[in-house]
Amino acid sequence: MAEFPLSKPVITGSKRDASTLGNAAYAVFVLFCFWAGSQAINLLMNMPGLFEHLMQSSGAATRPYVEMGFGVNILFGLGVFTVGALVLGAIVFAARLFYPQRA
């Protein structure tokens, strides 16, 4: 139910069997998420005007208007994503160097 096998293991080693306890924990987590979602929908349906109140900007007059330029968007958007991808790639590359695949 909760197994997500990769086509090729990143770090080779002994293949473990599926864990019944892990599958049960995943099932409980999914059920909890469904329960929390149903409680949120139930709250929105039974309290008239709550959704409209939450969607209104309550302090728009007191907050300053901030305009970000294109460079700031690239720095904090694409730049952070690129650095994160490079770090993840370096970790995978190091794992492949230190744990070579056996033929």
Dump the DSSP string for 45-69.
Answer: HHSTTHHHHHHS-TTTTTSPP----
Residue 2: per-residue pLDDT: 59
Residues 44 and 74 in one domain: no
Residue 19: per-residue pLDDT: 79
Residue 52: per-residue pLDDT: 72
Residues 7 and 55 in one domain: yes
Residues 40 and 5 in one domain: yes
The angle formed by the CA atoms of residues 42, 44 and 47, to the nearest 5 degrees, is 100
Reference 95, options 7, 13, 18, 17; nearest CA is 13
Domain encompassing residue 33: 1-65
Residues 38 and 82 in one domain: no
| pLDDT tens string 36-75 | 989 888 887 788 777 677 766 656 666 667 677 777 777 7
| pLDDT tens string 69-96 | 777 777 788 888 999 999 999 999 998 8
Q: How many independent structural domains does the chain possess? A: 2
Q: pTM for the full model?
A: 0.38
**Is the pLDDT score of 25 beyond 80?**
yes
DSSP classification of residue 23: H
Element (H, E) at 6: none
